[in-house]
Amino acid sequence: MDQTAQTEFRESAPKPCAELRFGIFIVAYNAVTTLRKVLDRIPKEAWDQVEEVYVFDDCSQDDTALLGEGYKAARGVSKLHVYRNDSNLGYGGNQKKGYAYAIEKGLDYVILLHGDGQYAPEMIPEFMAQARGRHPAAVLGSRMLKKGEARRGGMPLYKYAGNRILTTFENLLLGSHLSEFHSGYRMYSTRALRRLNYPFYTDDFHFDTQVIVELLHHGFEIVEIPIPTYYGGEICYVNGMKYAKDVAFSVLQYKLHCLGLARCEWCGAGGARTTRYPAKSSPLSSHQRVASLVPPNSRVLDVGAEGNYAGQLRAKGCHVTGLNTCDPGEAVRAEYERFAVRDADARLPEPKELGTFDCVVMADVLEHLRAAPAALSHAKDLLDSQGILIASTGNVAHWYVRLNLLLGRFNYAQRGILDAGHVHLYTKKSFKELLLKQGYRILGTKVTPIPFELLAGQGALSRGFWRTAEYAYYVLARVWPGLFAYQFVLVTAPIRKRDGDAP
């Protein structure tokens, strides 16, 4: 979850209810037989309260735009504006243009309405009431909130079944609890739209799904309201199977991005990681592995400290010193007894600066260091005679990376095995060799599975599903670590000369 976006959205105080500016955005394509009825059905109170009703005709092959202009002239509706795209932008492309228009006009909320008459314009006042009452980021009209309403409204059985299957799949992967992802009747806050990466979304019909995914990613509030279902003689331009495939792929792409296994440009995933790695609580995760391997009552130096397991170490009676290349902020510093800012790539502190330690932890650190061998060499000076060093790294020979290489892809991401900040990449063999060459002996090796817990939401079903998947995958990682292990965690100790050995 993008905490920065969430905080900024909540802290930017919404306008008083009376000052909110609404717009109704009608997407239309070959809607010459339905657009007039849609405009007629917009309630008078909605016409009175909105700033503008604007129609974007997506280069229709009929006279949709001409009809809209005629309606405006005949009815004398000054708030109605009709635009015709010079070329067909697609369902998503048309929305991109319409939302940019809403932001440019200074609207606070934009209500998306379809020109084919599938959605009831009579519900527009209810959308506006939600905005005035709760100031949410989005209000979604749902045909599924009232049991049986969708089928009574004429939704074909195959569409109903597909809707339920896809929505269940999306809720499971995204940890959400929405009754429906696939209604096109919605309202967005332009404050939220400014935070979204919607210009990079698809131009196709799964644009609507990508909006919801990024709203959930940022933790923005989404409200659902029941809407009636209507299926008439409108022409459907959606290829159902292709749509289902595109929706599933978008959600999976986003979740793989969360794991650091893929790039998700449409969700603003480009560039280097700018936030700390999220803490992982699964007993099989690298964070918990490291915490369990540190001996109780130890003096610990946590290199690359982000506070993810410092509390557990303190609970074991450890005295923990944190070290990072930059100040991580007061909340992280508070997790440690002492904290030092030092570039580990330049040189670790001398023993006279921080003393010596029973354990030095370099969890997911060495791959970020250009001078990793030198850092390991210096770490030996910071260890007591019986001290140990715990190090972890991602597995660049993981099956997913291999598969992408086979397909000609090697894309860096914001986190994970191919974190854009990595300067070295390791296999199990090369990581062990790195430590052996610097005079360490390997005391133990642990593997971790893909951190499926990062895919789970708050729901018990979602958490249970992904926890089961994590343990099942862990079996594969144990059997064939070089291919299936996500990370390796090594416990090592310096090889020290014994008394009497030749210099």
At 16, is the pLDDT very low, low, confident or very high (cuts 50, 70, 90)? low
Does 184 share its domain with 311?
A: no
Does 349 share its domain with 203?
A: no
Q: How many domains does the chain have?
A: 2
The residues with which 492 forms a beta bridge, in sequence order, are 389, 442
pLDDT for position 12: 53
The residues with which 426 forms a beta bridge, in sequence order, are none
The domain of 376 spans 286-494
Residues of the chain above pLDDT 90, percent: 67
Strands 109-114 and 138-142: unpaired
Domain assignment present for residue 501? The answer is: no
Tell me what the pLDDT averaged over the chain comes to: 89
Does 150 share its domain with 199?
A: yes
Domain assignment present for residue 502? The answer is: no
Does 261 share its domain with 290?
A: no
pLDDT at 303 over 50: yes
Does 305 share its domain with 335?
A: yes
Domain assignment present for residue 446? The answer is: yes
Domain assignment present for residue 277? The answer is: no
| CATH number for 144 | 3.90.550.10
Distance between first and last Cα of the chain? 55
pLDDT for position 11: 45
| Tens of pLDDT, residues 159-189 | 899 999 999 999 988 888 999 999 999 999 9
- Boundary (domain end) residue, out of 267, 297, 330: 267
pLDDT for position 461: 76
Domain assignment present for residue 244? The answer is: yes
| CATH number for 332 | 3.40.50.150
At 274, is the pLDDT very low, low, confident or very high (cuts 50, 70, 90)? very low
pLDDT at 503 over 80: no
Does 258 share its domain with 308?
A: no
Cα dihedral sign, 165-166-167-172: positive
Residue range 33-53: mean pLDDT, rounded: 96
Does 160 share its domain with 13?
A: yes
Residues of the chain above pLDDT 70, percent: 90
Q: Give CA–CA dist 52/25, Å, rounded.
A: 8
Q: E-assigned strands of 431-485?
A: 440-448
- Boundary (domain end) residue, out of 236, 267, 298: 267
276 alpha carbon, distance to own chain's centre: 14
- Boundary (domain end) residue, out of 237, 267, 297: 267
Does 68 share its domain with 187?
A: yes
Query: How far is CA 133 from each of CA 21, 28, 136, rounded to the nearest angstrom?
Result: 14, 30, 9
Domain assignment present for residue 503? The answer is: no
Does 237 share its domain with 307?
A: no
| Tens of pLDDT, residues 193-241 | 999 999 999 999 999 999 999 999 888 999 999 999 887 655 566 777 8
Q: Give CA–CA dist 10/32, Å, rounded.
A: 41
Does 51 share its domain with 177?
A: yes
Does 159 share its domain with 189?
A: yes
Residue range 44-63: mean pLDDT, rounded: 96
Does 158 share its domain with 249?
A: yes
Domain assignment present for residue 276? The answer is: no
Domain assignment present for residue 499? The answer is: no
pLDDT for position 418: 83
